Amino acid sequence: MVDTKVILSGITLDNPVIPASGTFGFGYEFAELYDINCLGSFSFKGTTKDARFGNPTPRIAECKSGMINSVGLQNPGIEKVISEELPKLKKCFNKKVIANISGFSVDEYVYCCEKIDKQEQVGIIEVNVSCPNVHNGGMSFGTSEKNVSDVTRAVKKVTTKPVYIKLSPNVTDIVSIAKACEDAGADGISLINTLVGMRIDLNRKKPVIAQKAGGFSGDAIFPVALSMVYKVADAVKIPIIGMGGVSSADDVIEMMMAGATAVQVGAANLVNPYVCKEIIEKLPERMEKYNIKNLKEIIGVAHNG
């Protein structure tokens, strides 16, 4: 008998499989397909202070072994998430959920995190620092050690729950960014967010995406994500949620061996809505194949060689 349980900042998860933000809505949509209580947890749709319609269409483009999206954080805003989305979710999900929070200024992050921290259903707050800082020329918060430190410190002052900072891979040195988050008080790190990619329509002779470029995700980015998780795990002592191109039970195990305590599944949900359920069902069999009795024992084992 194998043990798939993991502990994430004091919260015991039945397994490490977590659908990633932006690929699982607010959960109840997928609850119509299967019992989502089989999940370790899930990270709900990126939420901002005000409602957002998102970017102009087209904002999705297919590509080899992946996809490009430029949805633009479409969401109903923090007040409606609390008053409408969480009550719907409560009817079909009885575990703690991960709240993904985005913002365009430090004040917005603080406002949303303070609000969501009071929600009993929320176990972990995941702060997405890939948003453009409107007070600093539009540069992403996640590309600067100072910016991520400022956001982390400010959010930690108004929250009681574990705060994980979700990092962009589109930086020169992700290790220094991760260490800055840890030094500022982050309880954990989520990585990686999407890479940057684009496609050109050969008939129209123009970019497929209205915004020209977008977030590249899918199977193709797994080796990049794995490498970054491995490097960050070497540098920080706080737990890591690994993600990026994960689509199988073997990917989950590999990501954990690189140093992740839990693993998020993103683009694969958009290809196969049952993928997380299938990964969870397959996990015990793959653990037995690799002679793994307890998942907690393999976290970061690849660093021992």
State the catalytic residues. 131
Residues 6+ apart with CB under 8 A from 16: 4, 6, 40, 252, 256, 260, 261, 262, 263, 295
- DSSP annotation of 207 reads E
Q: What residue has token string 């191109």?
A: 245
8 A C-beta contact, residue 158 and residue 117 = yes
How many other CB atoms sit within 10 Å of the CB of residue 274? 12
Q: What residue has token string 């988050």?
A: 181
- Report CA 240 to chain centroid distance, whole Å: 11
Q: What is the DSSP string of 53-109?
A: --SPSP-EEEETTEEEE-----B--HHHIIIIIHHHHHTT--S-EEEEE--SSHHHH
How many other CB atoms sit within 10 Å of the CB of residue 290? 10
